[in-house]
Amino acid sequence: MARENGRRETRRDKKRQRNRRQNPDGTMSLKDHLYELRHRLALALLFVVLGSVVGFLWWEIRPFGLPSLGDLVTGPYCGLPRHLRVELNDGKCQLLQTQPFEAFMTRFKVGISAGMVLTSPGWLYQIWAFITPGLYAKERKFAITFVGLASMLFAAGAVLAYFVVPEGLQVLVSFGGDQFATALAADKYISFILIMLLIFGVSFELPLLVTMLNRIGMLPYANLKRWRRGLIFGLFVFAAIATPGTDPLSMVVLAAAMTVLLEFSIQLSRLHDRKKARRAVAEGWGEPEEYGLKPDDKKLAAERERVAREKAEEERAEEAASKLDDVT
């Protein structure tokens, strides 16, 4: 009986350690960390499996009048002009199956990819729940913002890629002129689509990376301003290497989008560094000219007033604390 009670207490202790109210600082032993990691990974894998099943079934099902996953995936290929692609089975737009299990493996691969996207809030939360106990409140708030922006930027890049791929495919398949007709194998076509979505999605994380490096002081605005032309040239080189095939349209669209995002992140860095400079001057760490600021800057004057108020509040708090110590 005592053994059973001991087991129950151990389980309660583990639940308390996972609970932020019972364990605010998130302290856990190495063994408990490994158990927690196993628990979170199992739940994350469960979300991915369930999403993959949904994605596999969605391939040929049109829920609530929406297009099926198969229609969405073959959309760029079927968007090609009819004279550029081979049409079999009474003119239907279909991919070629060149191996016995190619259709199943293609559907399985797309189902897993779609399932991971659909259930991303679930498995991302499990990763987040494992990391959170080791972070301070300010760090948790920053991490939530980072994850949210990263997800939106990746989705925006993938959507842009989906609309660019049909035009890129048309350019690629038209090089053969009238001597070629296009009949794409399912496996290679799906790999091409997924690679394009991944490249565009990851590339759209650039402004987030630049902004983060600027926030922690590793990439100041002065360096970004000096390196701007070289960075833009590097983005075009990256787009030329990253986009598969010899499609110039996909390369130009990707490079142009990344250039706009880079410029946006540079301007955010400029605003951040100017705010940081005003704070440093207001706290007495130098003269305005040393930070490229004007002495009559209105925002600098407002920052000085804010710093003065904060210092006055700190002095009052210290004075009240000293009086309390004298009384006790």
CA atoms within 13 A on the CB side of 134: 9
> pLDDT tens across 137-188, in order?
766 777 777 778 888 888 888 888 888 888 888 877 777 777 777 788 888 8
Q: How would residue 4 be classed by pLDDT, with cut points 50, 70 and 90?
A: very low
> pLDDT tens across 292-326, in order?
777 777 787 787 888 888 888 888 888 777 777 66
- C-alpha distances in angstroms, 290 versus 109, 262, 280, 287? 57, 27, 11, 5
Mean pLDDT of 108-126: 86
Q: Domain residues of the chain, as ranges?
A: 30-204, 205-328
pTM for the whole thing?
0.73
> pLDDT tens across 18-65, in order?
555 555 555 667 777 788 888 889 998 999 999 999 999 998 888 888
Which residue reads 């959170």 in tokens? 132
Q: Distance between the two ends of the chain, CA-based, in angstroms?
A: 50
Q: Is the pLDDT score of 235 beyond 90? A: yes
